[in-house]
Chains A and B, each alone.
Chain A
Amino acid sequence: MKLELIGKPEGCKLLRATIDIDAAPRPDARIQAISIRGDFFAIPEEEFDALERALAGTELKDLGREFSARARERGLQCAGISGEGLDELVRHALTTTPQERN
């Protein structure tokens, strides 16, 4: 299944994410692939591409924590995006319908 997230969480720029998951949208669905887009900064940029790939296998409920941990591991300096911000988008997506999100 595919989950489309969009929003401007607290402290973040406008974030968009497309997440392929292995089940219906629920906290323990596993991420198969994720693409995060927006006008944020993450330096070095190429490490962010690798971070996205490394998030495969993560459960939706752990996305923010894993994002932050992997970003730290890779020495990424982020501005306008955070694990907390991604968690906020996931929570919103899991508690609203696609129509409500648009």
Chain B
Amino acid sequence: MSHPFRLLETGFNPAAFNMGLDEALLRAVAEGKSLPTLRFYGWNPPAVSVGYFQGLREEIDVGACALDGVDIVRRITGGGAVFHHHEVTYSIVVPLAHPLARENILESYRLLLSGITEGLADLGIQSEFSPINDISAGGKKISGNAQTRKLGCILQHGTILLDVEVDRMFGLLKVPQEKAKGKLIADIKSRVTSVKHLLPKAGAESLESLFSTTVSALERGFARALDLEYARSDPSPEEHEAAGALAAEKFSSRSWTELR
């Protein structure tokens, strides 16, 4: 039997709102006010997110981000720093009591990420789960993901790269050994790929169009892999209001951003 799921496409928003909405969705699902939810979104302006356990100033060049007009936000999930620009971002919220929830974190990643590998296959890209939390295609990373469990729910969010901007990213992130920066950039370029790189026909497509194409493929992929039956909607007014409040009071606050 298929699983009733809510499907949201919330467009492009600032980092604090994006993280606020993910947390608001988690709360609404936890309170039984909303169905388990799959959300697709983008970032405007571009942003860098840091993992819950990362030291902000150890990972991010805060001044460079300000100069480049790039938002900074701390996630409620662990994992590494991510530059969010040419990508599709998703979040999925599932109660721990749901048949799609797995207690073991790796197993949980494996199951939920099957939606992404299926969606990429829909686009014509063969990919595979690369533990702990990545998906790779042709041996290169194309998707990074992070998961937490709060209020009796799993929240997983992650990115699918549409294009790679390694040089810009390295201007925003701190590199432990500055001397090795050139080598590191070359190394990352050789280990990361994107939808645009893997689909010859995508080269002619604008990134806006590629975003839509990829979201549609991922929607179909998640539905097939996890047997989801979607109810397409917008966030509820309560969720929207909660997201705004979380954005203003938590995700934009210095105390949260500089937590570590």
Inside 8 A of A16's CB, which chain B residues have their CB?
55, 58
Contacting chain B: which of A26-34, A42-50, A91-99? A42-50
Query: DSSP majority for the A interface?
Result: strand
B14 touches A (CB below 8 Å): no
Number of residue pairs A-B, CB distance < 8 angstroms: 56
B208 to A: closest C-beta gap in Å: 30
Closest-by-CB residue of B relative to A18 is: B55
Interface residues on A, range: 10 to 19
Q: Tell whether, in the assembled complex, residue A39 and residue B79 are in contact, meaning their CB atoms are under 8 Å apart.
A: yes
A69 touches B (CB below 8 Å): no
Q: Tell whether, in the assembled complex, residue B147 and residue A38 are in contact, meaning their CB atoms are under 8 Å apart.
A: no
Q: Tell whether, in the assembled complex, residue B55 and residue A41 are in contact, meaning their CB atoms are under 8 Å apart.
A: no
Q: Tell whether, in the assembled complex, residue A36 and residue B149 are in contact, meaning their CB atoms are under 8 Å apart.
A: no
Mark out the residues of chain B between 39 and 82 whose CB falls within 8 Å of any chain A CB in the assembled complex.
Answer: 51-55, 58, 76-81
Query: DSSP majority for the B interface?
Result: loop
Assuming the contacts A13-B80, A39-B81, A79-B132, asked whether A45 and B53 have C-beta atoms less than 8 A apart, the reply is yes
Inside 8 A of B105's CB, which chain A residues have their CB?
41, 43, 77, 79
Inside 8 A of A40's CB, which chain B residues have their CB?
53, 78
B97 touches A (CB below 8 Å): no
Q: Tell whether, in the assembled complex, residue A45 and residue B148 are in contact, meaning their CB atoms are under 8 Å apart.
A: yes
Inside 8 A of B53's CB, which chain A residues have their CB?
36-40, 42, 45, 48
B186 touches A (CB below 8 Å): no
Inside 8 A of B58's CB, which chain A residues have their CB?
16, 37
Q: Tell whether, in the assembled complex, residue A39 and residue B147 are in contact, meaning their CB atoms are under 8 Å apart.
A: no
- 15 further A-B pairs in the complex, CB-CB below 8 A; given A37-B54, A44-B148: A16-B55, A41-B78, A41-B133, A41-B146, A43-B147, A43-B149, A44-B149, A44-B150, A48-B53, A77-B104, A77-B105, A79-B106, A79-B133, A80-B78, A80-B132
A residues at B contact (CB < 8 Å): 6, 13, 16, 35-45, 48, 77, 79-80
